[in-house]
Every structure is written in structure tokens, then in C-alpha cells.
Amino acid sequence: MGSMEMATGSMETALISDPTAKLPDDILVEIISRVPFKSTRCCKCVSTRWRDLIAHPDHRKKLPRSTLAGFFYKTYDMASRPHDLHGYRSVSGNWCPIDASLSFLPKCEEIDLLDCCNGLLLCRRSKPYPEEPDYVVCNPATEKWVTFPANEWSSESYARLGFDPAVSSHFYVFELVPAVALNWNLKYEYDIEEVGIYSSKAGGWTHQIEWDDPIEIRNFSGGTFLSGVLYLCSYNNLVAAIDVEGNCRFIPVPTLNDARCGPYIYASRGQLYVANYGAAEVSIWVLEDSSSEDYWTLKHNASYLQLFGSSSKEFYGVISAHPEDDVLFMTVETTLPG
């Protein structure tokens, strides 16, 4: 009798400590499906029941997945064709099939992949002369797209995309206009003199700002959009920060005496990071405040020997970061003996 009372008391205690214990499996799965992906992983640690429900194959389609499905990339092969080629590499299996050729877009003479941001792609569509090119922003997962007109100098400009689905469903396009695009007499002058900003909410180009002091942007610098600001790598250990009204300021970044190349900036979990490449290691810094006083805090140091088992004859570079985890995706380019 005493042991029966003990068992009953233990069961009541368990029910009190776990209010979800009485919920049917399908209801509990429905609740878990409404939390973010990262929280779903934490849910696995609640109990063996939760872990088994989340891991069950029948429930995988209902539960949230990582927001990182894969990478679009560009290659340039002058021998095969005088245009950039683009492709796609999945990092999450086949749960999100992607048409890498973007065949769902309207037909055009040529399409150039310019930028990507939080699941959206920015492309420039070339048309037969005398038609002007235009821009298209698309979601390759849903195959939805929207086009909008380019400016007269768009074909000679750098365009970057800004999109933050956690804040708004609208996007921005930043068109960075170099001096040579405005005046062909200024050959090889690629400092940015103007910025044009397109807002999908307004449905047009809302700002065209001419800067008094042109800014230098590193060649092929990818943009990082965070909290309404586009961040781009500049020279002299600076990051250019351009808001959606065209205002620009510069943020100093940590320096390395043995730097191999310029820094790489990226956003993860709502913060701005910079990766610096030294002769023997990569260092990761996070920007603690981007409004009143900017300062960087060192988060990680990792040697190339530790990461790749080698510290020489290779060039290492960060190509992207996971939006939810402390994970960097890096390339390793082997230097052939000459």
C-alpha cells in the first residue's frame, strides 16, 4: 500500500513539474513547430519524449528548419564565355530544392547575380539594345520575384541588397555609383560618388545622394545588412555604414600587423562581426555598439593549423556565416609550387 502511494505521489509530482505531460503528441508537435529553429534544438533537451518527437521522421516536415539552405556562388571563365556564371551548393540536404538556373524568372538576354541577403537574390537583367537593363529581386525557395527599373548608369554601378525578414517584409537596393559611371573621362576612377536607394515599400527609388567625399569600397566587397544599415568593407581598416536614407559613416575595425588581406564582415544573431586574417590565425570580433560609441570585442582566435591541419601554402577566406550559430564557412585555396 505504501509503495502504491509513493508511486502515485511521484506521478503527481511529474505532472506538476511537466505541464505538457498530458498533451497528446500531435498537440505538442504543433506547439514546438511554432518556435524558432534554434529553440527547437533546445527543446530536445527537455525530456526523452520531446527529443524523440522532434527526431521522428513523421514530424520533420512540420518542425522549423535551419534558415540556411545553401549558397549561391559566381564564377568567371573568360575561356568559356565572357559572362559571370552562377551556381548553387546545398548544405542542408534536399529539404529545400532550389532551381539554380533561376529558370522561373522572365526570359532575358542575360542575367547577372549581384547579391543575396537573407534568402533573397538581387539580379540585373540585360536586354537587347536599345532597351535599358532592370533589376529583379527573387526568392529562389518560393520562386516569387519582382522587377523594377534601373537607373541610366546601373550597368556600371555596384548594387547591394538589404533585407531583414525579422523586421519587415520589404527590401532595399543600394546602387553604388563610381566616378567613372558618371564621367567616362575619369577612367579607372572607381571611388563611389553617389548612392541610389530603392525601397520596395515605396515602390521606387527614394533617395539619390551625392557624397561630398567619395568613398572607397574594396573590390567585390559583399554587403552585410543589419538593423537598416548596409555595411561594406573599405580601405585603411574601415567599414562603411550606409543607412536607408543614404547617410554614410565609417567604423574603424581592429587591425593586425601580419594581416594577409582585408577584413570580412558578416552578421549573425543580430550582431555585426569582423574576421581578420593573420599570417597564422583568424580572429573574430563583434561590434558591441553601432550607434553612440563603436568598440569591438575579441570573441575567438583560431590558428589555421588547428582548423585545417596546415599553416602554409594556402589562402584561407571566410565566404559566409551561419545566421543562427557560431559557424563560419571558409575556403581553402592551395598555392601551387611555382
- d(C-alpha 232, C-alpha 117), whole Å: 13
Long-range contacts of 25-34 (CB under 8 A, 24+ apart): 25/53, 28/53, 29/53, 29/59, 29/62, 29/63, 30/62, 32/63, 33/62, 33/63, 33/64
**47-65: pLDDT as tens digits:** 888 777 777 777 666 665 5
Q: Where are the domains of the chain?
A: 2-59, 66-252, 253-338
Nearest to 284 by CA among 268, 271, 270, 273: 273
Distances (CA, A) of 160 to 116, 119, 171: 8, 14, 11
Q: What is the pLDDT of residue 246?
A: 92
Q: What is the pLDDT of residue 2?
A: 44
- pLDDT of 8 over the 50 cut: no
Instruction: Answer whether 148's CB lies under 8 Å from 134's CB.
Output: yes
**Between 136 and 87, the higher pLDDT residue:** 136
- pLDDT of 12 over the 50 cut: no
Instruction: Answer whether 234's CB lies under 8 Å from 248's CB.
Output: no
**62-84: pLDDT as tens digits:** 665 555 677 777 776 655 554 55
State mean pLDDT over 84-108. 75
Long-range contacts of 82-89 (CB under 8 A, 24+ apart): 83/110, 83/112, 84/112, 84/113, 86/113, 88/140
Name residues whose C-beta falls within 8 Å of residue 271's C-beta, 6 or more positions apart in sequence: 226, 286, 287
Name residues whose C-beta falls within 8 Å of residue 83's C-beta, 6 or more positions apart in sequence: 110, 112
- d(C-alpha 101, C-alpha 90), whole Å: 14
Cell 596546415 locates to 310
- d(C-alpha 235, C-alpha 132), whole Å: 33
**163-218: pLDDT as tens digits:** 988 788 899 999 988 876 766 666 766 778 888 999 999 999 988 888 888 888 87
- d(C-alpha 39, C-alpha 138), whole Å: 28
Cell 559566381 locates to 74
State residue 17 phi and psi, 5-degree precision. -75, -25
Name residues whose C-beta falls within 8 Å of residue 40's C-beta, 6 or more positions apart in sequence: 32, 54, 63, 64
- d(C-alpha 271, C-alpha 295), whole Å: 13
Band (292; pLDDT cuts 50, 70, 90): low
- d(C-alpha 101, C-alpha 113), whole Å: 11
